[in-house]
Amino acid sequence: MTDETIDDIMEATYRALCTHGYADLTMQDIAAESTKSKGTLHYHFEGKQDLLESFLAFLLNRFEERTETIPGETPAERLHEFLEELLTPADEGSAEEFRTAILEIKAQAPYNEVFREKLSAFDRALQARIATLVADGLEAGEFRADIDPDETADFLVTLFHGAQTRAAAVDRPPERTRQYVHEYIDETLRPDEATERDTVTTDVDGEAGE
């Protein structure tokens, strides 16, 4: 299967999911959004389940490509930009429909081992990317020395998944979460200047008293 064929089928799957959701989606729905026939889809994939498993892998590859280069002169700036990109839909016009379809797929993960493996791979890739950015910020002295990169990444990944679920389930705009995430980086991860000043004062006083 050529890259062009893969891209066509995967883009068609995305559009069909946005239109029909997961439960009602059929191979004919995907073919209708594609330049390929239903027979061609069945030639490459055993059925809807097989195609959607490949679609999840495709999404992970797209995510890694999209975030391979993160703008920003410092690790803190890159962390801001990465999370902004993560919480901003690539397609605003169908963001709500796609979030709902993905939520339906996630709901199948406890019963579908391959879905669970694909979603777990995305989760691990996301956490690893954030942990690396936080570790870079620690090395550069931009973040508090007591910050643990893995724990911070785990928290931010959980926040991301929660934001996606709430946006789909209760129509809570993800824009609000973006605001909180940026505040978390600046107000929690950054060194507390007051604490630093207190430390300096204590050190100076100690030296003066010796």
- Is residue 207's pLDDT more than 50? no
Reading the block at residue 38, the tokens are: 């239903």
Can you give the pTM of this predicted structure? 0.82
> Which pLDDT belongs to residue 87?
87
Tens-place pLDDT, residues 113-123: 999 999 999 99
User: How far apart are alpha carbons 102 and 17 in whole angstroms?
Assistant: 9
Report, as an integer, the average pLDDT of 194-210: 42
- 90 compared with 83, residue with greater pLDDT: 83
- Calculate mean pLDDT across residues 75-84: 94
Q: State the Cα torsion 203-76-181-168 to the nearest 10°.
A: -160
Q: Measured between alpha carbons, how far is 165 from 92 in angstroms, rounded to an integer?
A: 16
For residue 175, is pLDDT > 90?
no
48, 26 Cβ separation under 8 angstroms: yes
pLDDT at 147 over 90: yes
pLDDT of 142 over the 80 cut: yes
Token output for 127: 């956490």
pLDDT at 204: 45
Would you state the pLDDT for residue 182?
94
Judged by average pLDDT, the poorest of 42-56, 149-163, 172-186 is: 172-186
Q: How many whole angstroms separate alpha carbon 119 and alpha carbon 110?
A: 11
Across 134-145, average pLDDT: 96
Please enumerate in sequence order all residues whose Cβ is within 8 A of that of 145, keeping only pairs 6 or more positions apart, or say none. Answer: 138, 191
